[in-house]
A and B are shown apart, each in its own frame.
Chain A
Amino acid sequence: MREMAGLDEGTPLFAQVAERLAADIADGGLAEGERVPSTNELAAFYRINPATAAKGINILADEGLLDKRRGIGMFVAAGSRAALLARRRAGFTERYVEPMLTEATRLGIDSDELITLIRECSNEQGSVAV
């Protein structure tokens, strides 16, 4: 398989490009007001068709997360970071908690044990207080 900078072949590439850009904005890698890479820059980086990259950018533009400045390019819109973080928080249960519970059930780990495991893991990482 050819390296596409981490994109996978199983889901539409434009959606993955949009997701990557959104994640970059949410994590602060792309600051509000900053110029977003052009279609051709994204195409060269991910090694994908420019039309596919353009479709990815347009998704975010349609959602109001990017502003188009004619003749210059796309820029991260004000307020987009907060919007993306709120969206990610809303999907947290579905994306992380539910799959974990499913696997825990398969393994016979009950919720008390699961909470203990999370606490231990969290102490090791020293990050989130549970």
Chain B
Amino acid sequence: MTPAISVTGLTRRYPDHVALDDMHLSIGNQTITGLLGRNGAGKTTLLRILAGQEFPSSGSVQVLGAPPAENQDVLCRLVLVREDQVFPDLQGYPDFKVSQALRAASIFYPRWDADLASSLLKDFGLRAGKAIRRLSRGQRSALGITIGLAARAEVTLFDEPYAGLDAVARQIFYDRLLAEYADFPRTVLLSTHLIDEAAGLFENVVVIDRGRVVLDTAADGLRGTVTAVSGPVLAVNSFTQGRPVWERRGLGSQASVVIVGQIPPEDRDRARSLGLDLTPLSLQQLVVRASAGPAGTGSPTMRTSA
């Protein structure tokens, strides 16, 4: 199947730094992918280029089989919801209302669903008659999410879409995203720092760091592959010897060592008989380690994943 998004050798240079550095990436059709990484890793630049709002310095980008920039046929089939979404022309039109923003979106997006938009507004407690300049930060995010979901765009890009949203509203977003995806499957790319919250939504995760992809894999395949082994230091050392070690910490007679790789049942038995605790790392903990710290400290195992 042709991927929905395909990025080849993509570089974006600014006068003072390189935001994307020879990036290669392919996003499968009708999947939900988590785009993860630290601030400044290049997530927003990538999403803006995918949405045709910014140009590559070099390399190529295909969305739905064609370059998105200035391509109306692609642009009306994709939507980008940004953190702290700014709605256009507010200075010229101080009374621009939520309902008018929705009407504008309904004209632009051929698959727009007005009933869905109203029901989302209701869920988020947002009044259609409210002036956009009077919306709080969280309400602006709710409006952005409403447009992003109701557009039913084949490619739906969310860039940290929930600034100012409380936990309840974020849960509404996750639940509605899943329900919408079930009814009208589409390609979703969601960048977020709230990995623990969103992890279950993802079929795939892409971690970027300094403008490059450092991890691109099935989310569920990662779970259970990295384990913290803790207990008495001698037993920990004996058990972890010969295994790829990611991190080692100790306190007095106790040690905790993070190892990479599945642990077969017979080794689990052995760990138990040594009095060791085995704790699998969560996706969030894995991503933090894959993208944290100065260059070259990430695990080589994680960096070579296809």
For A47, list chain B residues within 8 Å (CB). Answer: 174-175, 178, 200-201
Contact A43 B223 (CB under 8 A): no
Tell me the complex Cα distance, A106–B275, Å.
8
For the complex formed, measure the closest distance between the CB of A35 and the CB atoms of chain B, giving whole angstroms: 17
Q: Which chain B residues lie closer than 8 Å to A55 at the CB level?
A: 220
State whether A11 touches B280 (Cβ < 8 A).
yes
Interface string of A27-55 (1 = CB under 8 A from B): 00000000000001001101111111001
| A43-B182, A98-B269, A102-B273 as given contacts; A14 in contact with B220, CB under 8 Å | yes
The tally of residues in A whose CB lies under 8 Å from a CB in B reads 26
Chain B interface: which size bin? 20 to 34
Which residues on the A side are within 8 Å of B223 (C-beta)? 9-13
- A50 and B182 CA atoms in complex are apart in Å by 7
Q: Considering the chains assembled together, what is the distance between the CA atoms of A102 and B271 in angstroms?
A: 11
Q: Which residue of A lies closest to B195 (CB)?
A: A9
B220–A13 CB distance below 8 A: yes
* Chain A residue with Cβ nearest B197: A2
Q: Is there a chain B Cβ closer than 8 Å to A7's Cβ? A: yes
Cα A2 to Cα B196 with chains together (Å): 7
Identify B220's interface contact among A2, A43, A52, CB under 8 A: A52
Within 8 A of B (CB), among A51-101: 51-52, 55, 94, 98-99
CB neighbors of A among B138-183 (8 A) = 171, 174-175, 178-179, 181-182
A57: min CB distance to chain B, Å: 14
B182 touches A10 (CB 8 A): no
Please name all residues of chain A whose beta carbon is closer than 8 Å to the beta carbon of B279 when the two chains form the complex: 10
Select the residue from B171, B201, B275, B283 with max chain A CB neighbours within 10 A.
B201
Partner of B200, one of A10, A11, A46, A99: A46
Dominant secondary structure of chain A at its interface with chain B: helix
- Interface mask (B106-146 → A, CB under 8 Å = 1, otherwise 0): 00000000000000000000000000000000000000000
With contacts A49-B202, A102-B272 taken as known, whether A40 is within 8 angstroms of B182 at the C-beta atoms is: yes
CA distance A11 to B224 in the complex (A): 5
Contact partner of B203 (CB less than 8 A), chosen from A11, A12, A52, A106, is A52
Q: Cα distance A55–B219 when bound, in Å?
A: 13
Inter-subunit contact B272/A99 (CB<8 Å): yes
Q: Which of B171, B178, B202 contacts A44 (CB 8 A)?
A: B178
Q: Which single residue of chain A is at the shortest CB-CB distance from B31?
A: A51
Q: Which residues of B contact A12 (CB under 8 A)?
A: 220-221, 223-224
| 28 A-B interface contacts by CB (under 8 A) | A2-B174, A2-B196, A2-B200, A9-B284, A10-B224, A10-B279, A10-B281, A11-B223, A11-B224, A12-B223, A12-B224, A13-B200, A13-B220, A13-B223, A14-B220, A44-B179, A47-B175, A47-B200, A47-B201, A48-B200, A49-B178, A49-B200, A50-B178, A52-B220, A55-B220, A94-B269, A99-B272, A106-B275
